[in-house]
Copies of this chain bind each other. A is one copy, B any other.
């Protein structure tokens, strides 16, 4: 037997028949090797599917001894190729969390839940709800992404402006290190200043420093009042002005503030069944506003701010949901945009953020820059404007050949990211680096910053077996 075959046998013996999918089993292994959109197809000796943190640690230990790389994978819903194995100089395995699905405990009085890495995000939300509490992380893929992946990528979503990113929801972690040892940092404390805050290292590190196997997460009281409104505005400048007014008037009760330009609303309504524009006329810009809280008065606040905004010419029109179904109908417009964009032809995507004060200038400047290169492009600018995070996706000119359009991808990215970085922004607000954005990282980060990142990588994974080929080139 070769050395690799020895390792495979060892892991298979450890995990049993459910715990290993070999490379020879093409149909079974294929979904673990493929990035969702087909951007990347990786290769691996197989997929290890441990059913406990101990088993996961043992797998990593075996691989570390044999010099085999380990790519941790959750729901494989990432958008930058971070979860797909690229072994480079090492042969690799995938370590999937899809059997690490226990909810270990819930402490309602402490408002914490301890879950294994493979619990699907929606199931974390559900367990919290059953205890009368809220786990606020919420994003499009929540029905299939797994919490370990959410934490390893520091996921964002629609409630960041109120509850923070995934990082902000973590109190403790359990992590398998590159040598197979387990760091038990599963604490449920709001305050703990006993040495370096090690959990921060592994959150957002995309599995390159260790593998998260479980987490203790913050839960929140469930809001009892939710008010949703859709505002129509003259432009993005006014949409950001309205956000400032809403934030000032409602403070911590602002649950979400999403913007959509006319093109985004238009294609959502045209391409996705059941989605409709509640306004009789068309408008250049829309904002979806959600307030939530425990006390009355939110509706009055929303009415007052929107009425004043219309008086001042900041908004043109607005409708406040009269019931839950109507609120959901507003959200349906927002949620339909990614699907609608697929049906509208080629789309070149940017997941960027800038300071809130520069969202409008960014969209204007980036739109002009791309129109100068390729007249007829149709920017579909939407997303989490309350965080300064815009999905600035550019649909192709009508009638253009899709493949010819997509050849502009690199060039458009460079132009848009240059503008973002000049404005002190981020070229990857939510999605991470993975494989896709490594070039940008080296282009825009200072040497000092790259050196610091490399120093951490060397310190925690000296042999380079944790998800090689990701983040670093």
> B residues within 8 A CB of A356?
109-111, 190
A172-226 contacts to B, CB under 8 A, are 177, 181-185, 187-198, 200-201, 203-205, 209, 220-221, 223
> B residues within 8 A CB of A296?
295-297
Q: What is the CA–CA distance of A167 and B354 in the complex, to the nearest angstrom?
A: 21
A85 within 8 A of B: no
Q: Smallest CB-CB separation from A251: which chain B residue?
A: B294
| Count of A interface residues, CB-CB < 8 Å | 95
A449 within 8 A of B: yes
Contact A188 B355 (CB under 8 A): yes
> B residues within 8 A CB of A168?
164, 168
Q: What is the CA–CA distance of A120 and B388 in the complex, to the nearest angstrom?
A: 29
Q: Smallest CB-CB separation from A155: which chain B residue?
A: B193
Contact B295 A189 (CB under 8 A): no
Contact A192 B426 (CB under 8 A): yes
Q: What is the CA–CA distance of A53 and B47 in the complex, to the nearest angstrom?
A: 49
| Min distance, Cβ A44 to any Cβ of chain B, angstroms | 24
A428 within 8 A of B: yes
Partner of A197 from the list B154, B189, B240, B446 (CB cut-off 8 Å) is B154
A35 within 8 A of B: no
Q: What is the CA–CA distance of A164 and B253 in the complex, to the nearest angstrom?
A: 16
A308 within 8 A of B: no
A96 within 8 A of B: no
Q: What string of 1s and 0s marks CB contacts (under 8 Å) between A216-257 and chain B?
A: 000011010000000000000000100010011111110000
Partner-binding segment picked from A1-9, A19-27, A315-323, A455-463: A455-463
Contact A197 B200 (CB under 8 A): yes
Contact A355 B189 (CB under 8 A): yes
A272-327 contacts to B, CB under 8 A, are 293-298, 300-301
> B residues within 8 A CB of A195?
433, 441, 445, 449, 453, 471
Contacts A168-B168, A251-B223, A452-B183; A194 near B160 (Cβ below 8 A): no
Contact A177 B293 (CB under 8 A): no
Contact B189 A109 (CB under 8 A): no
Contact B355 A110 (CB under 8 A): yes
Contact A190 B160 (CB under 8 A): yes
Q: What string of 1s and 0s marks CB contacts (under 8 Å) between A378-411 and chain B?
A: 0000001001110000000000000000000000
> B residues within 8 A CB of A190?
160-161, 165, 353, 356, 387-389
Contact B294 A193 (CB under 8 A): no
Contact A428 B251 (CB under 8 A): no
Partner of A109 from the list B182, B253, B357 (CB cut-off 8 Å) is B357
Contact B196 A355 (CB under 8 A): no
A153 within 8 A of B: yes
Contact B182 A448 (CB under 8 A): yes
Q: What string of 1s and 0s marks CB contacts (under 8 Å) between A345-368 and chain B?
A: 000000001111110000000000
Contact B187 A424 (CB under 8 A): yes
Contact B426 A153 (CB under 8 A): no
Partner of A446 from the list B111, B184, B424, B427 (CB cut-off 8 Å) is B184
> B residues within 8 A CB of A453?
195-196, 198
Binding site for B on A (CB under 8 A): 107, 109-112, 153-154, 156, 160-162, 164-165, 167-168, 177, 181-185, 187-198, 200-201, 203-205, 209, 220-221, 223, 240, 244, 247-253, 293-298, 300-301, 353-358, 384, 387-389, 424-433, 437, 440-441, 444-446, 448-449, 452-453, 455-456, 458-460, 471
A-B contact pairs, 26 of them (CB 8 A): A107-B355, A109-B240, A109-B244, A109-B355, A110-B388, A112-B355, A164-B168, A181-B448, A187-B426, A190-B353, A190-B389, A191-B430, A192-B426, A193-B428, A193-B429, A193-B431, A194-B440, A198-B449, A200-B200, A201-B452, A223-B251, A249-B294, A252-B253, A295-B298, A295-B300, A459-B459
